[in-house]
Each structure stands twice: as structure tokens, then as C-alpha cells.
Amino acid sequence: MDLAVVNLIDVLYSIANLALISIGLAIIFGMMRVINLAHGEFLMLGGYTAIIATQNGINIWISMLIVAPIVVGAIGIVVERLVIRFLYGRMIDTMLATWGLSLFFIGLVTTIFGAKTEGISAPLGYFEIGQYKYADYKIFIIVFAVALLIAIYLLLRYTRAGLIARGTMQGADVAAGLGINTSTVYAVTFTAGAALTGLEGALIAPLNAIIPSLGSQFIAKSVITVIGGGGAFLTGTVSASTLFGGISQLVSIESSPVFGEVALLIGAVVLLRMLPTGITGRFFRRSL
């Protein structure tokens, strides 16, 4: 019984984790049809920022929740203005250019910090479920993911900024005709996506060894979650994370984490074969 509870929380954590590492990418893809292959490196940069800030005496919560998103968001602005904005509408070229950025950031961080592992210990303690101990921090991740997704929904649904964003997403030409500067909207969206990704990278930092090539562990999972989710990015991310995170964790419990990951990838291939435009290409089409 206790084991079942632990497994259930593990599945929830796996889903929340997948949603967290994907949402920044999903926002950028949903709004601008840009697949940012440097996404994994934004996570990595967020992780490094949090660790370095913490090592320099800043409170771990402040460095994770405030410093990391600001730093990575700033990198996002620079990247958008220097590279991405020239490539809107050229989906394949943006993929190649962001792949180049990904290599660039890996190389940059390796040059500065060396190819060694950094880490911080997770804040918060443990609680007990029968004979099992469970990290509070994982519960925090689950709660945080839910809160973040709700916040994004409310922002898009009920604020003027959200209205402009949704309008630009549905019809950039019409939005431009109504006097919206879509270039600014894109820049802001990309920055917001990058900042969120930095935040998520910081949040997963205590649970992972942070190395320059960290991003390559996450990029494929994030991309297939976003692609599998389809056009309506919020619903898509939630449904695809639930599906893929669930499959992956259940298989992991039965065999090993590596096969869990292989199961996730195979699940993605099957899903894309059946629903080539992702889950929200077929279901929940009118959702956000």
C-alpha cells in the first residue's frame, strides 16, 4: 500500500517534471512556430546560474526563483534580437540556427567552467510514507508545476497582455493590422519562454548533476512533449506530459529508468504516427 502511494507520487512527479521542462519550449513553439533546440542549454544555464548564485551566498530560493529566470531571460532577449528574429517563418532554419546556439552555449560554458560537475543539495527535508522516505522537494515541484500552469492560463485568458498574445498567435497579420507590434510580441514571448526555462533549469538543478552537456538529456524529451502536444500549447503540454510522463514512469517502475525513457520515445513515435499534428491537432482543438 505504501509502495503504491510512493509509486503514485513518482508518476505525478514525473509528469510535473516533464511539464516543467517543456512549458518554456511550448510557449515559444505555440506562439511562433519556432522549435528552439537551444532549449536544453537554457535549462543548463538556469541550473548554472542558480548554483553559482547560491555558492556566492544568495539564498537558494531567491537564486532559483528570481536570479535564474532574470539571467536566462536576458540571454533570451539577446538571442532573439541577434538571431531568431531574422528567421521567423523559416521553421527548419530556426531549428538549425538554434542547434548552433545549443553547441555554442555548451562550448561557452565548457570554456568558462570546464567540463566538471556542479551541484547543490535539495532544500527541504523528507517526510515518511510508512517505511518509505520521500523528499519534500519533489512534492514542491509537483505543486509548483500545477501553480505555474494555472498562472499561465489565467495570464493568457484574463489579461490584456494575454489577449494580445493569443491574437498574435491566431493571426499575426490581423493583429498587426489592428495596431499590435507583433515583432515586440514575439520578442517578449521568446524572452518569457527563455526566462521560464531558466527557472525550470534552476528548479531541477538540485536533483541533477549540472554539467555543460546537461541540455542534451532533456532536449529530446521536451521537444517530443511539445510536438506530441500539438498547436494548443498549454493543453498540449499538459496532455502530452501526462501521457509520456506516465508511460515513462510506469515502465521505469517495472524495469529501469533507461527503459522508461526508451518507452517514452517509442510512445512518441507511435503517437506521431497516429496523430501527425499532435494531441491537440485532433482533440481539444479550441483550447489554449
Does residue 86 bind other proteins (CB under 8 A)?
Answer: yes
- The answer to whether 11 touches 249, Cβ cutoff 8 Å, is yes
Q: How far is the CB of 33 from other proteins (least distance, A)?
A: 9
One residue of 58, 65, 66, 95 binding other proteins per CB under 8 A: 95
Q: How far is the CB of 278 from other proteins (least distance, A)?
A: 9
Does residue 89 bind other proteins (CB under 8 A)?
Answer: no
Task: Label residue 178 exposed, middle or buried (CB < 10 Å: 0-12, 13-18, 19+).
Answer: exposed
One residue of 13, 105, 186, 190 binding other proteins per CB under 8 A: 105
One residue of 223, 234, 240, 243 binding other proteins per CB under 8 A: 223
Residues in the chain: 288
Q: How far is the CB of 54 from other proteins (least distance, A)?
A: 25
| Part of the chain binding other proteins (CB under 8 A), chosen from 54-62, 133-141, 162-170, 259-267 | 259-267
Does residue 258 bind other proteins (CB under 8 A)?
Answer: yes
For other proteins, the closer of residues 130 and 276 by Cβ is 276
Identify the three-state secondary structure at position 232.
Answer: coil
What is the distance between the alpha carbons of residues 40 and 53, in angstroms, rounded to a whole number?
20
Strand boundaries in the chain, DSSP class E: 126-129, 132-135
For other proteins, the closer of residues 69 and 267 by Cβ is 267
Does residue 106 bind other proteins (CB under 8 A)?
Answer: yes
Neighbour tally for 172: CB within 10 Å: 19
CB contact set of 131 (below 8 Å; sequence gap of 6+): 2
Instruction: Please state, in angstroms and as integers, the Cα–Cα distance from residue 84 to each residue in 76, 94, 99, 204, 241, following that order.
Output: 10, 7, 12, 26, 27
One residue of 185, 268, 279, 280 binding other proteins per CB under 8 A: 268
Strand boundaries in 120-277, DSSP class E: 126-129, 132-135
What is the distance between the alpha carbons of residues 29 and 205, in angstroms, rounded to a whole number?
24
Q: How far is the CB of 226 from other proteins (least distance, A)?
A: 9
User: Cα torsion for 214, 215, 217, 219, to the nearest 10°?
Assistant: 170
Does residue 107 bind other proteins (CB under 8 A)?
Answer: yes
Contact positions with other proteins (CB under 8 A) in 109-128: 110-111
One residue of 74, 87, 129, 146 binding other proteins per CB under 8 A: 87
Q: Which three cell numbers stand for residue 88?
A: 521567423
One residue of 91, 122, 146, 187 binding other proteins per CB under 8 A: 91
DSSP state of 118: B
Residues in touch with other proteins (CB under 8 A): 35, 83, 86-87, 91-93, 95-97, 99-108, 110-111, 216, 219-220, 223-224, 227, 256, 258-259, 261-262, 265-266, 268-269, 272-273, 276
